[in-house]
């Protein structure tokens, strides 16, 4: 099935294509899944959140707030 828009709930093939990864890689990631009509689907908002959480190349991640509270330097 083709759409003129990105559906909210996607089967593995569409969700993997949305992220630009293989279906096996998608299934190995810790991205929440839902069931809909007896099928496992991924919610576009969860896929976006996963992509948003990835670090940018060459940029250091800011220290965790908890680390700052306790003066931990990494």
Structure token pair of residue 13 = 């093939």
CA gap 44, 32 in Å, rounded = 11
pLDDT at residue 58, rounded to an integer = 84
Q: Please enumerate in sequence order all residues whose Cβ is within 8 A of that of 11, keeping only pairs 6 or more positions apart, or say none.
A: 39, 40, 41, 42
Confidence of residue 73 (pLDDT cuts 50, 70, 90): low
Question: For 33, phi and psi rounded to 5 degrees?
Answer: -120, 155
pLDDT, average across residues 14-28: 97
pLDDT over 70 (residue 36): yes
62 or 23, which is more confident = 23
pLDDT over 80 (residue 71): no
pLDDT at residue 15, rounded to an integer = 98
pLDDT over 80 (residue 34): yes
Contact 43, 19 (CB under 8 A): no
């Amino acid at each position: 099935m083709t759409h003129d828009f990105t559906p909210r709930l996607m089967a593995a093939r569409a969700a993997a294509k949305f992220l630009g990864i293989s279906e096996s890689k998608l299934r190995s990631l810790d991205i929440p899944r839902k069931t809909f009509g007896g099928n496992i689907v991924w919610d576009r908002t969860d896929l976006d959140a996963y992509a948003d959480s990835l670090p940018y190349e060459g940029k250091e991640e800011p220290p965790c707030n908890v680390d700052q509270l306790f003066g931990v330097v990494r």
